[in-house]
Amino acid sequence: MSIVRLEHVFKEYTLGEQQVCALNDISLSIEDGSFMAIAGPSGSGKSTLLNLIGCIDTPSLGKIFIDHQDISGRTPDELSDLRARAIGFIFQTFNLFPVLSAAENVEYPLLQFKELSVTERRSRVSKYLAIVGLSRFARHRPNQLSGGQRQRVAIARALATQPKIVLADEPTANLDHKTGEGILQLMKDINGSFRTTFIFSTHDRRVMEMANRLVRIEDGQIVRHEAEEQETSLS
């Protein structure tokens, strides 16, 4: 079952007089439960691809299906609702609110789910802080945490809404190698226990090797698509 499908997707940006073709005819099907890396040089279109899958931006041409729903023609409100319920985001610069504690950062995206009571919200926060190993740091602010711990808070925040898909744009780029590996291993463990689909972009070869699916893009086109043999034979 594919959780994400792109059909002949193009994305052009207008820069003054110039047209930049950031994605040039991308077709891609991502199986539910994948742990997928998007690799490619800087400027190849990785962030653009993640933004389209994350419904942050819309394609110039082509169709995108998220969880079997065609997202073309959706209103901005419908897209933001889909995004809030189906997708979690992790960024290379962590993007935490500096004045909020770790627990408050994790709680923040849950505030828009009116159906959750305060108690349910708090228990989600504790649960996901525990999953990322930060229960003891709930009251710390981001500047009282290391880079790796900040990224763990961001992972807890992304998971707290229980999304089907987590998108991570270069999640280890600002971490030293060992810390980055720990973050990837944590993502992989979560992928294993909850079957949450992870799609992450990276430059780091060792990070790519942890993926069970690898898409390499250059100049907005897929130049290589690999899946682990085991997975291919299952599908």
Contacts to ligand ADP by CB under 6 A: 13, 15, 20, 22, 40, 42-48, 159, 162-163, 194, 196
Comparison of 78 and 120: residue with beta carbon closer to ligand ADP: 120
CB of 162 to ligand ADP, least distance (A): 4
Residues 33, 35: Cα–Cα separation, whole Å:
7
Burial, 211: exposed, middle or buried (Cβ in 10 Å; 0-12, 13-18, 19+)? buried
CA dihedral sign, ordered 174, 177, 179, 185: positive
CB of 154 to ligand ADP, least distance (A): 14
- Report the SS3 class of residue 69: strand
Comparison of 11 and 213: residue with beta carbon closer to ligand ADP: 11
| Number of other CB atoms surrounding residue 175 within 10 Å | 21
CB of 29 to ligand ADP, least distance (A): 20
CB of 229 to ligand ADP, least distance (A): 26
Comparison of 196 and 212: residue with beta carbon closer to ligand ADP: 196
CB of 20 to ligand ADP, least distance (A): 5
Spatial neighbors of 54 by CB under 8 A, at least 6 apart, are 83, 87, 89, 167
Comparison of 18 and 233: residue with beta carbon closer to ligand ADP: 18
CB of 178 to ligand ADP, least distance (A): 25
Comparison of 141 and 194: residue with beta carbon closer to ligand ADP: 194
CA dihedral sign, ordered 116, 184, 212, 56: positive
Side-by-side strand order, sheet with 213-218: 87-91, 165-169, 197-202, 35-39, 213-218, 221-227
Comparison of 2 and 162: residue with beta carbon closer to ligand ADP: 162
CB 123, CB 170: distance < 8 Å: no
